[in-house]
């Protein structure tokens, strides 16, 4: 939707969060984004900007009240049996119609597989832009524009993107970038019930079956403890030791980009701007130098432990506990203590 003049731009208001609802559960990135949306709403130039949570899916109406506990002022539900299985064309058609109807100023979603599938389709249907995989959101002082920060050129630079002439301003945001607010169980708000139009149910895609498999091991995004190996691990065998420590701590295995690029471990373990953004309670960096691309992905961790030979490595300055030593000597001793205890 093109903004042709300042008067027209005033018709767009509110910050929307597209909730991720699947398998009867709300993805935790939704709560993180609701907290972020509240901060953005408070900074907008227009007063009375609200946080609106849009949730689609069969049974979505049963989740409305919980969103009020996480800063939502309004919840729009689309609870329909046609949304029982995920079909991005149907979802995008419904969302784009509601965007045109209510005219949000900002629309954000998680940079999950669903968000990455739906949001580009919505952007095309409403003729606006989309900034994907954001690691930061803010409001520009003076203009009220959304500042969308994301890594570019393989993480070598950080780009800040603005969408000056189209609305809504749309972003997908990585899980773990923002912390979910502390829930306020007394929160209340307005619930708006919308439907799926018959025309929106027509699609060329036929979903035969939808299943939610169990992850092997602990997902990085959900882990309370992450043990990450970097270039100092020296090879795939070094990651066997990292995995053993992670297993002893009931944590997940992470990796720096250097380790992944070297082929020592798969990309699914990568932490950083071009990998996962994480917020574990404890983050143990082993042989990780701590370049800015990596630090951006883990610096919000609760407690950071770094093991490195180089006392001057950037990760050592960020760490709550910095262990100067050879990780091949230090880690086996830690594992031995954990197993003996």
Write out pLDDT tens, residues 253-294. Answer: 999 999 999 999 988 899 987 788 888 999 999 999 988 889
Q: How confident is the model at residue 211 (pLDDT cuts 50, 70, 90)?
A: low
The mean pLDDT value of the chain amounts to 88
Which pLDDT score, from 0 to 100, does residue 196 have?
92
341 has pLDDT over 80: no
Confidence at residue 46, expressed as pLDDT on a 0 to 100 scale: 66
- Indicate the pLDDT class of residue 210, thresholds 50, 70 and 90: low
Distance CA 323, CA 218 (A): 26
Cα dist from 79 to 62, 180, 193, whole Å: 9, 25, 8
pLDDT digits (tens, 9 = 90+) for 29-46: 999 999 999 999 999 866
**Which domains are delineated in the chain?**
6-201 (3.40.50.620), 220-340 (3.40.50.1220)
Report pLDDT for 8.
55
Q: Concatenated DSSP letters for 73-142?
A: SEEEEE--GGGSS--HHHHHHHHHHHHHHH-EEEEEEESSHHHHHHHHHHHHHHT--EEEEESEEEE-TT
H or E segment and range at residue 8: helix 6-9
Burial (CB count <10 Å: 0-12, 13-18, 19+), residue 229: buried
Classify the phi-psi angles of 257: left when phi > 0, otherwise alpha if psi is within -120 to 50, otherwise beta: alpha
Whether 7 shows a pLDDT value over 80: the answer reads no
pLDDT surpassing 80 at residue 9: no
Is residue 324's pLDDT more than 60? yes
Model pLDDT, residue 222: 79
SS3 per residue for 130-172 = EEEEECEEEECCCCCCEEEEEEECCCCEEEEECCCCECCEEEE
39-76, pLDDT tens digit by residue? 999 998 666 889 999 999 999 888 889 999 999 999 99
Range 204-226 average pLDDT: 71
pLDDT bin (cut points 50, 70, 90) of residue 25 is: confident
pLDDT, residue 155, reads: 61
Look at residue 328 in the predicted model and tell me its pLDDT: 95
pLDDT at 6: 46
pLDDT in tens, 155-202: 667 889 999 999 999 999 988 888 889 999 888 899 999 999 989 888
pLDDT tens, 116-149?
999 999 999 999 999 998 989 999 988 899 999 9
Average pLDDT over residues 218-245: 91
Per-residue pLDDT at 202: 81
**What average pLDDT does this structure show over 307-322?**
94
Percent of the chain surpassing pLDDT 70:
91
- Residue 29's Cβ-count burial label (10 Å; 0-12, 13-18, 19+) is buried
């Amino acid at each position: 939707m093109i903004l042709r003049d300042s008067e027209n731009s005033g018709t767009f208001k509110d910050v929307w969060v597209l909730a991720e609802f699947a398998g009867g559960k709300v993805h935790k990135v939704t709560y993180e984004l609701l907290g972020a949306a509240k901060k953005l709403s408070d900074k907008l130039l227009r007063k009375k900007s609200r946080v609106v949570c849009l949730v689609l899916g069969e049974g979505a109406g049963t989740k409305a009240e919980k969103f009020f506990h996480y800063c939502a002022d309004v919840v729009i539900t689309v609870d329909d049996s046609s949304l029982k299985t995920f079909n991005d064309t149907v979802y995008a058609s419904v969302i784009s119609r509601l965007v045109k109807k209510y005219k949000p100023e900002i629309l954000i979603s998680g940079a999950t597989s669903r968000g990455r599938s739906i949001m580009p389709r919505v952007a095309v249907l409403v003729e606006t832009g989309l900034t994907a995989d954001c690691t930061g959101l803010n409001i520009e002082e003076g203009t009220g524009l959304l500042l969308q920060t994301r890594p570019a050129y393989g993480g070598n630079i950080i780009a800040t993107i603005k969408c000056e002439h189209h609305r809504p301003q749309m972003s997908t945001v990585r899980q773990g970038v923002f912390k979910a607010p502390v829930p306020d169980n007394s929160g209340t708000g307005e619930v708006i019930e919308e439907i799926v139009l018959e025309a929106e149910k027509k699609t060329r895609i036929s979903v035969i079956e939808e299943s939610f498999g169990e992850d092997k091991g602990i997902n990085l995004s959900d882990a309370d403890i992450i043990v990450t190996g970097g270039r100092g691990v020296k090879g795939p065998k070094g990651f066997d030791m990292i995995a053993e420590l992670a297993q002893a701590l009931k944590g997940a295995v992470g990796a720096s980009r250097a380790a992944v690029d070297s082929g020592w471990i798969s990309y699914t373990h990568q932490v950083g701007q071009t990998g996962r953004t994480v917020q574990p309670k404890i983050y143990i960096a082993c042989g990780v130098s701590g370049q800015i691309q990596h630090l951006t992905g883990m610096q919000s961790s609760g407690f950071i432990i770094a093991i490195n030979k180089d006392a001057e490595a950037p990760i050592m300055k960020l760490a709550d506990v910095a262990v100067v030593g050879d990780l091949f000597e230090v880690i086996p001793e830690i594992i031995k203590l954990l197993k003996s205890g």
